[in-house]
Amino acid sequence: MTDTRPTLAVWKFASCDGCQLSLLDCEDELLAITGAVRIAHFTEMSRAHVEGPYDVSLVEGSITTEADAERIREVRRSSRRLITIGACATAGGIQALRNFAEDGAYASTVYPHPEFVSSLDTSTPISGHVAVDLELQGCPIDRRQLLEVIAAELVGRRPVIPGYTVCQQCKGRGTVCLLVSKGTACLGPVTRAGCGALCPSIGRGCYGCFGPSEGANPEALAGRLLSEGMAPVDASRLFATFYVGNPVFGNQATALAAAETGLAEQEEQST
């Protein structure tokens, strides 16, 4: 009997596998997924492989080698719909920090023999190489949002994914604003909702794990942080994490770093 279920493939590029694990963490829901779709490729779950074409491909990870740049083009050619999941696939991930350093600077610091490492000078999102049909944010992604995306794909509708901020989630759960009440550095005002405002709920500022929210104004937040006494270099580091490859956060991190350099030069001239 011919299996008429739509095919789902999950692909890994440069990443930590955390977003793929979010799918495996669905547990009971995963059983329902496997009943509705045929998982044709998912190395994290099984060595079984079914040749394409695929109805939906979920792609985790950034492009960091020439081989990966070619492989993602092959995945795109064999996929009717291609959905990127997580910070690495949508913005280059934490490894995109090397995009702002001199060529090979990080490799020579991290590896005892960097001459054995073969990679591109930059870490780029999947959309920098092929057309992407949908991006799901997070480091890692939220499994409920992932289930919403898969369910929407199965019935041919647009998924309902929030674009508002972590601040709104804080208000929804009754968490007192850390930035206002305690002067705690927090990216909640500019970060997309998705985590349930977990860090602020335990007294820690938001780290920006879900990337910039719709209409984010990082310059205004940076101004507030500086007015509270934060050094530009520290504010820069706050933006230069999971989504440094996204221009909204990356450009702000660069501007703050430049401001720190300017202050250092002024101090040097005054002495």
Domain containing 97 — which CATH number? Answer: 3.40.50.700
When pLDDT is averaged across residues 78-85 and rounded to a whole number, the result is: 98
Each residue's pLDDT tens digit, 153-163: 988 999 999 99
d(CA 189, CA 71): 37
* Three-class HEC string of 200-251: HHCCCCCCCCCCECCCCCHHHHHHHHHHCCCCHHHHHHHHCCCCCCCHHHHH
Q: How many domains would you assign to the chain?
A: 2
Helix (H, G, I), strand (E, B) or coil at 85: strand
**The pLDDT of residue 271:** 65
In angstroms, what CA-CA distances link 1 with 4, 5, 185, 258, 262?
A: 9, 12, 59, 64, 70
Residue 161: inside a domain, yes or no?
no
Give which of 143, 149, 133 is closest to 37, Cα–Cα. Answer: 149
* Residue 200 within any structural domain of the chain: yes
Domain boundary at 95, 123, 155, which?
155
One domain for residues 181 and 73? no
Residue in the structure block whose two tokens are 């972590």: 166
Contacts of 193 (CB under 8 A, 6+ apart): 162, 163, 164, 165, 166, 168, 169, 210, 213
- In this predicted structure, what is the pLDDT of residue 263? 64
- pLDDT of 214-265, one tens digit each? 999 999 999 999 999 999 999 999 999 999 999 999 999 999 999 887 766 6
Instruction: Please answer whether residues 65 and 120 qualify as being in contact, where contact means their C-beta atoms are separated by less than 8 angstroms.
Output: yes
Strand partners, 250: none
On whether both 179 and 205 belong to a single domain, the answer is yes
**Residue 213: pLDDT above 80?**
yes
* CA-closest candidate to residue 41, choices 75, 17, 10: 10
pTM for the full predicted model: 0.91
Residue 1 lies in a domain: no
Range of the domain at 111: 7-155
Do 78 and 146 sit in the same domain of this protein? yes
243 contacts 211 by C-beta, under 8 angstroms = yes
User: Do 61 and 148 share a domain, yes or no?
Assistant: yes
The pLDDT score that the predictor gives to residue 41 is: 94
The Cα 143–Cα 24 span in angstroms is 9
Using alpha carbons only, give the angle 256, 250, 122 rounded to the nearest 5 degrees: 125
Q: Are 95 and 64 in contact (CB under 8 A)?
A: yes
- Domain assignment present for residue 28? The answer is yes
Calpha distance 195→208 (Å, rounded): 10
pLDDT class of 211 with cuts at 50, 70, 90: very high
Under a CB-based contact definition with an 8 Å cutoff, are residues 263 and 232 in contact?
yes
Let me know if residue 130 belongs to a domain.
Answer: yes
Both 24 and 147 in a single domain? yes
Q: Same domain, yes or no, for 84 and 130?
A: yes
In a domain, 235, yes or no: yes
Same domain, 11 and 119: yes
Binning the chain into helix, strand and coil, the percentages to the nearest 5 are: 45, 15, 40
Q: Is 197 helix (H, G, I), strand (E, B) or coil?
A: coil
Q: Can you tell me the distance from the alpha carbon of 172 to that of 76, in angstroms, rounded to the nearest whole number? A: 39
Same domain for 86 and 202, yes or no, is: no
Asked whether residue 22 falls in the same domain as residue 68, the answer is yes
